[in-house]
Structure 1
């Protein structure tokens, strides 16, 4: 194995122009970051963070050259750590994977054992990666509103439903039989396209307001886009309501009033799926694979490794297929 060459997507930065370039190439194990477990990757996925990794000045990758891909699952093929054995199915999300440690868009990955979650042998790897980092983030978001006291009849709004996190949040809420799920879309065309899936659909303009506080409409908001969209939602939150936020596609900054926080006692909770403890990750994945199992309830598109660069360049069109998983060749799919 040590002398074996395998396929990987490698992004590099031109020292003169500072432009980021990507290439599907053959590499060796010497090109992988250090770790005590080598995994034959079955599936990786494409998240918004992965797309940013292919762009210049995006600030995602901290060291070049780098194999992007912030998550993967597969089978252990070599290990010096007694927690794992050859043949174990494993999952990896977050930490420095695909950022400063070679990631999942390759046939193999080498990582520290403490970053890996061992899966049951009958676990379907394709389902695991159809969730991936997006699924973990969604589960953490749902868990926060449950801890905050969400009930089946609570008024809940979800943003970013065309993305991976938002679509999985909705699927989990439906699994939990939440009765009053509303969604926020960009325009009337999107509302028309989702009219057969949701009873309550808001277009962004309908909730735009210059007031610090307005009618108490939502008990819980699960925001996946950030920026001005989140700004416009805070005035609508009910007394003691909770907002979770996990995305920044609509912007990194908020221009907001403090009044909803001190007069209505609302809470804004940030969701991080990268640096939480391994134990927290295990607990959330246990939920996703058992009580919150939502297999077959959301859209998944499957691409090969040599289609990744096309997908990145055409992300606006590709992401409408739902979650995008990358099927890595030369492994028995389970």
Structure 2
């Protein structure tokens, strides 16, 4: 019987949760079409919420979080995948209410599984992970209408995982990027930002119904006043993408940017992004959009994961945390 390690969160009291590395076996895994031996995962804010038992992500415990995984197919009921194939599994219900990637094995439906694109490896795909994929989905939608010579693109929450990749990818594609962050200017300039704007400066005067048009488009990762400000400051016919709500899930806004400037607001749902477009975006990342990740990523193993979980929940991490799961 194959035994393996998994990071497990258990409920031990009314609002008390305990985390540990436990030994599991294949029979513990949920039903699924494809059994994958996991090599790498990554740490996202949603993983931290699940791992610490915060409400809104995971309903039932004990649970193994991890909304990202890359690995090698061990067995498959779907002929599209065969033993030895390198694959990526992200989003859908992985790590939320289904056994996730902080485990040496996962078993999932075949329509969650993406073949590893040429140009990516088990490690580099998880350096990108859901954060980089979400950034790329935003860029995929934005760049269909906004070209590199149209003007600056503003990225909010720029020092976070999604924001860091958005800055780096857009810069690599030839866009001029204005990064909004309360953190390291040097870090963001190194990623390719042409300008870094502090949070207070960005939000200045945002109570007005319209702001001076400054940006050809925006990638918003935090929501609330930041999203509203980005929309109000977007040039006519510009595009704003929205993928997060860490600042707020409310949008304090009127219709003027939409009816007076023709601004488009595009929501990005990385969890349920259509499969065919998901594969296309992964291939775009692998072939053209992948930035240098050494300045974005740090690596830990399962044993070092809890320390990073506690840090990310407090906003204490810039960039990405790669999780080495397999040997």
1:83 alignment partner in structure 2: 80
Q: Does 1:232 align with 2:229?
A: yes
Shift of residue 63, structure 1, vs aligned partner:
2.8
SS of equivalent to 1:84: coil
Q: Select the residue among 199, 216, 237 that pairs with 2:194.
A: 199
Task: Flag the 1:194–1:92 CA change in 2: closer, same or farther, 3 A.
Answer: closer
> 2 CA distance for matches of 1:194 and 1:117?
30
Gaps of 5+ in 2: none
Deviations 1:141-180 (A, max 9, x none): 11111112333342211111211111111111122112x2
1:319 alignment partner in structure 2: 317
Shift of residue 182, structure 1, vs aligned partner:
0.9
Task: Flag the 1:193–1:304 CA change in 2: closer, same or farther, 3 A.
Answer: closer
1:9 alignment partner in structure 2: 7
Shift of residue 45, structure 1, vs aligned partner:
0.3
Deviations 1:72-107 (A, max 9, x none): 000011223222111110110111100121110001
Shift of residue 51, structure 1, vs aligned partner:
1.1
> 2 CA distance for matches of 1:21 and 1:259?
49
Shift of residue 284, structure 1, vs aligned partner:
0.5
> 2 CA distance for matches of 1:295 and 1:262?
39
Shift of residue 244, structure 1, vs aligned partner:
0.6
Q: Does 1:140 align with 2:116?
A: no
Q: Select the residue among 150, 154, 157 that pairs with 1:157.
A: 154
TM-score, normalised relative to structure 2? 0.92
> 2 CA distance for matches of 1:263 and 1:139?
29
> 2 CA distance for matches of 1:251 and 1:12?
29
Deviations 1:197-237 (A, max 9, x none): 64322112123221010211111011111122222332211
> 2 CA distance for matches of 1:129 and 1:79?
22
Deviations 1:5-62 (A, max 9, x none): 2110112334x51433322111122221110211110000001111111233431113
- Contact 1:89–1:120, Cα closer than 8 Å, also in 2: no
1:269 alignment partner in structure 2: 266
Task: Flag the 1:119–1:194 CA change in 2: closer, same or farther, 3 A.
Answer: closer
- Contact 1:63–1:99, Cα closer than 8 Å, also in 2: no
Deviations 1:257-303 (A, max 9, x none): 22222222212111111112221111010111112232446421000
Task: Flag the 1:57–1:299 CA change in 2: closer, same or farther, 3 A.
Answer: closer
2:29 alignment partner in structure 1: 32
Q: Select the residue among 169, 178, 181 that pairs with 2:177.
A: 181
> 1 CA distance for matches of 2:233 and 2:141?
19
Q: Select the residue among 43, 47, 57 that pairs with 1:46.
A: 43
- Contact 2:159–2:188, Cα closer than 8 Å, also in 1: no
Name the count of aligned residue pairs: 323
RMSD: 2.0
Q: Does 1:241 align with 2:238?
A: yes
Q: Select the residue among 282, 290, 295 that pairs with 1:293.
A: 290
Task: Flag the 1:78–1:198 CA change in 2: closer, same or farther, 3 A.
Answer: closer
Task: Flag the 1:256–1:273 CA change in 2: closer, same or farther, 3 A.
Answer: same
- Contact 2:38–2:70, Cα closer than 8 Å, also in 1: yes
> 1 CA distance for matches of 2:177 and 2:111?
37
Task: Flag the 1:239–1:223 CA change in 2: closer, same or farther, 3 A.
Answer: same
> 1 CA distance for matches of 2:117 and 2:228?
42
TM-score, normalised relative to structure 1? 0.90
2:60 alignment partner in structure 1: 63
Gaps of 5+ in 1: none
Shift of residue 122, structure 1, vs aligned partner:
7.1
> 2 CA distance for matches of 1:175 and 1:253?
32
> 1 CA distance for matches of 2:187 and 2:71?
36
